[in-house]
């Protein structure tokens, strides 16, 4: 049985839980589970990103704020946290000084925008992410929210692909 078929066959509660690891929004997870069956991985990703694109700004900020801050190692063992550690490996593998710098930059970002700095960190170095964070600290609030939405979209696309690996 293919991984998309397994996801399609999950009971509604299990599907919502699995999908919630991709995007920490109860509404998004519920609507994604209700849209099953998906014909393919690309149909799954298209549905997920479509729901994100239509998400109201207030919900978007709430969802972004549920993500682990860049450089902070959430060690609770949840699938989301394991994925976050994997995605942030370019930062988490660095020394104490760079992580302290990220903590300070994250504090400044949250103070300025009111939510967590969100970036699709997969494959990016700590220096690249730090430069991006510093740049984004100076963006207009509306531009930054659009940037954060685009980053969340990348993360959700990546994680929807991973959820198919996880349900095998």
Active site residues: 67
Please classify residue 61 by burial: count the beta carbons closer than 10 Å to its beta carbon, then call 0-12 exposed, 13-18 middle and 19+ buried.
middle
Q: How far apart are CA 168 and CA 165, in angstroms?
A: 6
For residue 114, report the phi and psi dihedrals to the nearest 5 degrees: 90, 10
Can you say whether the dihedral through the CA atoms of 102, 108, 112, 115 is positive or negative? Answer: positive
């Amino acid at each position: 049985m293919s991984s998309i078929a397994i996801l399609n066959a999950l009971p509604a509660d299990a599907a919502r839980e699995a999908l919630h690891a991709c995007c920490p929004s109860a509404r998004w997870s519920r609507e994604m589970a209700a849209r099953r069956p998906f014909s393919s991985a690309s149909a799954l990703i298209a549905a997920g990103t479509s729901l994100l694109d239509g998400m109201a700004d207030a919900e978007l900020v709430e969802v972004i704020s549920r993500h682990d801050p860049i450089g902070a190692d959430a060690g609770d063992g949840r699938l989301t946290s394991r994925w976050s550690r994997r995605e942030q490996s370019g930062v988490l593998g660095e020394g104490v000084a760079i992580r302290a710098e990220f903590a300070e930059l994250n504090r400044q970002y949250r103070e300025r925008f009111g939510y967590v700095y969100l970036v699709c960190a997969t494959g990016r170095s700590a220096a690249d992410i730090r430069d991006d964070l510093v740049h984004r600290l100076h963006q207009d609030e509306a531009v930054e929210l659009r940037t954060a939405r685009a980053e969340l979209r990348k993360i959700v696309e990546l994680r929807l692909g991973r959820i198919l690996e996880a349900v095998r």
